């Protein structure tokens, strides 16, 4: 009787459909919870804890949680087909999504107008962008030293980090509006893709509009992290990249990979991993052609117009970046209570290498750089091993997004100059993982 009883319980919970259908909803709940933890850590925990290792630890837990739950949802997807009998007409779905999207967008830019008046442009990122753009439009040498009032900046931005700002320069508006416009365009692109899918409208509304809530909290609670940078430009590029990968659009992947490569170099070791995955999935010719297109794009957008006329510009920019990192780790005006302010942002484990011997910061910086390099490389290799183990259970596009999330997480958690605004990408790249996971095995209505 006892054996029969436990066999029955096991059969009911693990072989019947009750738990099988409920389990994916548990994964979805945990995925949403981990995304919330990322936002909560950035907005609240970093400012309330005295333990500077707690925020990056929570970022690591939440990021791995997002990737894991996304993978589990891909393996055990939610069957949304049961809801097809409750679907709204197409016009109603469009109205109920795009109306609040438009209202929140107007409200966001209205708040940004007041916000930017309260926090005017400081002589750092935005003035440097103005140098790049105005020099290009004037036909001057772009990658030449940029004199400021008390220091000189050696240009080190890649071209697609500043070229988009030709638009606000021609329109004569504050450059800082444009990254949010690009970001909302990337949200709209994902919403446009998801809306015809066989997904509950309430879920699309929740997940597509949730980033607005985070933005409003950032404006209210962490204004200094938001006011003086343009980081939502690369964030938008990465969201476009995620959509192109998910849709398996060759042209889209080439274009968005170029946008990401020529704005920030965070892709570094993930890109070879992605090309190897494409090789194993589609044969050698496919990634080879894609690689040629990427090289051609880099040549025509960067090497030909900027490097060939000024061959030392790239190395000079890299040397300047290295000097800035050294100053951040050594100069007293970059420190608070004897610790570099940037290492107190709560976004990196690089603080450990400073605290090992505060009297020799340059030695700690050298070790942090090596750990950053090797940590990123090993992460890419481990992710390739994960692909080999899971390739028969996970679609390669889904795995590529999860791998990129994990890689970016490690890349920034080990960064030796971990400016807080760089973590906007970590937080908002969780949404493509979520959207891909809920879209698994759905069709158009």
Q: What is the pLDDT along the chain (445 residues), one digit of tens a residue?
A: 444 444 444 454 445 555 667 788 999 999 999 999 999 999 999 999 999 999 999 999 999 999 999 999 999 888 777 666 567 888 899 999 999 999 999 999 999 999 999 999 887 899 999 999 999 999 999 999 999 888 899 999 999 999 999 999 999 999 999 999 999 999 999 999 999 988 889 999 999 999 999 999 999 999 988 998 999 999 999 999 999 999 999 999 999 999 999 998 888 899 999 999 999 999 999 999 999 999 999 999 999 999 999 999 889 999 999 999 999 999 888 888 889 999 998 899 999 999 999 989 999 999 999 999 999 999 999 999 999 999 999 999 999 999 999 999 999 999 999 999 999 999 999 999 999 999 865 555 4
* pTM for this entry: 0.93
| DSSP classification of residue 444 | B
Distances 406 to 67, 246, 349, 378 between C-alpha atoms, Å:
7, 17, 16, 12
Query: Radius of gyration of the chain from Cα atoms?
Result: 23
Backbone φ, ψ for residue 73 (5° rounding): -70, -30
The residues that bridge with 146 in the sheet, in sequence order, are 153
- Asked if residue 339 lies in contact with residue 361, where contact means CB atoms within 8 angstroms, the answer is no
What is the number of other CB atoms lying within 10 angstroms of the CB of residue 341?
Answer: 12
H/E run at residue 380: helix 361-390
**Any idea of the CA torsion for 163, 255, 154, 421, to the nearest 10 degrees?**
90
Residue 6: predicted pLDDT: 42
Backbone φ, ψ for residue 30 (5° rounding): -65, -40
CA distance 368 to 326: 12
What is the number of other CB atoms lying within 10 angstroms of the CB of residue 119?
Answer: 15
Pairing relation of β-strands 335-336 and 339-340? antiparallel
- Asked if residue 410 lies in contact with residue 375, where contact means CB atoms within 8 angstroms, the answer is yes
End-to-end CA distance of the chain: 49
- Asked if residue 59 lies in contact with residue 413, where contact means CB atoms within 8 angstroms, the answer is yes
3-state secondary structure 268-333: CCHHHHHHHHHHHHHCCHHHHHHHHHHHHHHHHHHHHHHHCCCCCHHHHHHHHHHHHHHHHHHCHH
CA distance 299 to 292: 10
Helices and strands per DSSP (H, E), number in the chain? 21, 4
CA distance 405 to 395: 16
Residues 6+ away with beta carbon under 8 Å from 223: 115, 118, 119
CA distance 115 to 432: 28
Angle, vertex CA 430, rays to CA 429 and CA 432, nearest 5? 75
Residues 6+ away with beta carbon under 8 Å from 356: 364, 367
Total length of the chain: 445
Pick the closest to residue 156 from 302, 301, 304, 314 (CA basis): 314
Backbone φ, ψ for residue 136 (5° rounding): -60, -45
- Asked if residue 438 lies in contact with residue 203, where contact means CB atoms within 8 angstroms, the answer is yes
- Asked if residue 269 lies in contact with residue 379, where contact means CB atoms within 8 angstroms, the answer is yes
Residue 191: predicted pLDDT: 97
Pick the closest to residue 429 from 395, 388, 401, 392 (CA basis): 401
Residue 116: predicted pLDDT: 94
Residue 12: predicted pLDDT: 47
Backbone φ, ψ for residue 206 (5° rounding): -60, -50
H/E run at residue 153: strand 152-153
């Amino acid at each position: 009787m006892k054996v029969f009883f436990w066999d029955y319980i096991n059969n009911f919970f693990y072989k019947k459909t009750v738990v099988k259908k409920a389990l994916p909803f548990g994964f979805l709940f945990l995925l949403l919870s981990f995304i919330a933890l990322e936002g909560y850590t950035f907005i609240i925990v970093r400012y309330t804890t005295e333990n500077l290792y707690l925020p990056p630890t929570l970022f690591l837990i939440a990021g791995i949680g997002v990737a894991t739950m996304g993978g589990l949802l891909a393996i055990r997807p939610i069957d949304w087909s049961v809801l097809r009998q409750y679907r709204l007409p197409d016009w109603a779905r469009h109205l109920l999504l795009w109306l609040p999207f438009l209202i929140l967008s107007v409200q966001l830019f209205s708040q940004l107008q007041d916000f930017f008046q309260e926090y005017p442009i400081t002589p750092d990122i935005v003035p440097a962008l103005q140098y790049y753009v105005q020099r290009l439009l004037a036909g001057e040498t772009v990658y030449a030293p940029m004199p400021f009032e008390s220091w000189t900046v050696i240009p080190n931005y890649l071209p697609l980090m500043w070229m988009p700002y030709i638009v606000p320069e021609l329109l004569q508006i504050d450059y800082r509006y444009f990254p949010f416009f690009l970001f909302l365009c990337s949200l709209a692109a994902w919403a446009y893709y998801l809306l015809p899918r066989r997904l509950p409208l309430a879920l699309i509304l929740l997940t597509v509009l949730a980033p607005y809530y985070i933005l409003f909290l950032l404006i209210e609670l962490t204004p200094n992290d938001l006011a003086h940078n343009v980081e939502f430009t690369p964030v938008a590029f990465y969201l476009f990249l995620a959509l192109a990968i998910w849709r398996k659009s060759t042209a889209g992947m080439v274009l968005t990979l170029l946008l990401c490569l020529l704005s920030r170099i965070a892709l570094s070791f993930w890109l070879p991993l992605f090309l190897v995955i494409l090789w194993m999935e589609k044969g050698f010719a496919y990634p080879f052609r894609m690689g040629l297109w990427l090289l051609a794009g880099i040549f025509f957008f960067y090497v030909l117009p900027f490097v060939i006329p000024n061959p030392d510009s790239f190395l000079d920019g890299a040397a300047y970046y290295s000097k800035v990192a050294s100053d951040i780790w050594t100069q007293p005006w970059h420190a608070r209570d004897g610790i570099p302010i940037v290492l107190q942002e709560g976004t990196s484990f690089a603080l450990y290498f400073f605290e090992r011997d505060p009297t020799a910061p340059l030695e700690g910086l050298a070790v942090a750089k090596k750990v950053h390099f090797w940590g990123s490389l090993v992460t890419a290799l481990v992710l390739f091993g994960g692909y080999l183990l899971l390739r028969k259970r996970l679609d390669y596009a889904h795995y590529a997004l999860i791998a990129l999330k994990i890689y970016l997480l490690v890349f920034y958690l080990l960064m030796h100059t971990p400016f807080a605004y760089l973590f906007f990408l970590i937080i908002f790249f969780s949404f493509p993982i979520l959207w891909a996971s809920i879209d698994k095995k759905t069709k158009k209505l």
